[in-house]
Homo-oligomer: A and B are copies of this chain.
Amino acid sequence: MPSDDTCGELLVRLSDMQAVIKSFRQDVPVTGSRAGLMCLVALRRCGELRIGRLAELLEVDQSVASRHVADLEVHGMVVRIPNPSDGRSWYVRLTPDGDRAAGDALAHIRRRLAETLGEWTDEEITELSALLARLRVSFDAHRARVPHPSRTAQTVKGNR
């Protein structure tokens, strides 16, 4: 297990990233809602997704994802495809309009990121990406072992 000091230092850096990411997000010109745009970006990255899975990826409640998807559907950004093997669930898929909106937003951030990283080499950026990817893997693995309280409230019912 790594030392407290080492983890404390990373914690400081992650809290910095919170502000950095927030700034990048708010820099994106948006037509609909920002939260909806985040859904589109997730769909572009992962392909068609169920509502529940989309909510997991975005770390929001299912009801929130449901609302955003409903809104995006009204605006022609996504379509719902019935799941042939489970009548309760749907697959959400980008329309060409939705794909374009997500692509534009990503291109915009990527451009600003490239400007920000003007002094970096590709190798350095790739190394940072690799470490962040590994952090994500460790995070998922740890949560699979010790699930987040808010997500397990239902499962714990059997305890009484």
Q: Are B126 and A13 in contact (CB under 8 A)?
A: no
Chain A, interface size category, equals: 35 or more
Residue positions of A touching B, CB distance < 8 A: 1-4, 6-24, 26-27, 41, 45, 57-59, 106, 109-110, 113-122, 124-129, 131-133, 135-136, 138-139, 142-143, 146, 148-150
Copies of this chain assembled into the complex: 2
A27 to B120, CA, bound (A): 34
Q: Could you pull out 22 A-B pairs where Cβ atoms are within 8 angstroms?
A: A1-B114, A1-B118, A2-B114, A4-B110, A6-B125, A8-B106, A9-B129, A11-B109, A13-B128, A13-B136, A14-B132, A15-B45, A17-B132, A17-B136, A19-B59, A23-B59, A23-B143, A26-B148, A27-B148, A115-B146, A120-B138, A128-B135
Q: Are B20 and A135 in contact (CB under 8 A)?
A: yes
A135 to B17, CA, bound (A): 9
Contact of A122 among B3, B15, B139 (CB under 8 A): B3
Q: Are B127 and A2 in contact (CB under 8 A)?
A: no
A18 to B129, CA, bound (A): 14
Q: Report, nearest first, the 8 A-B pairs whose CB atoms are least far apart.
A: A13-B132, A116-B142, A128-B131, A19-B59, A16-B136, A6-B122, A22-B59, A7-B114
A116 to B7, CA, bound (A): 10
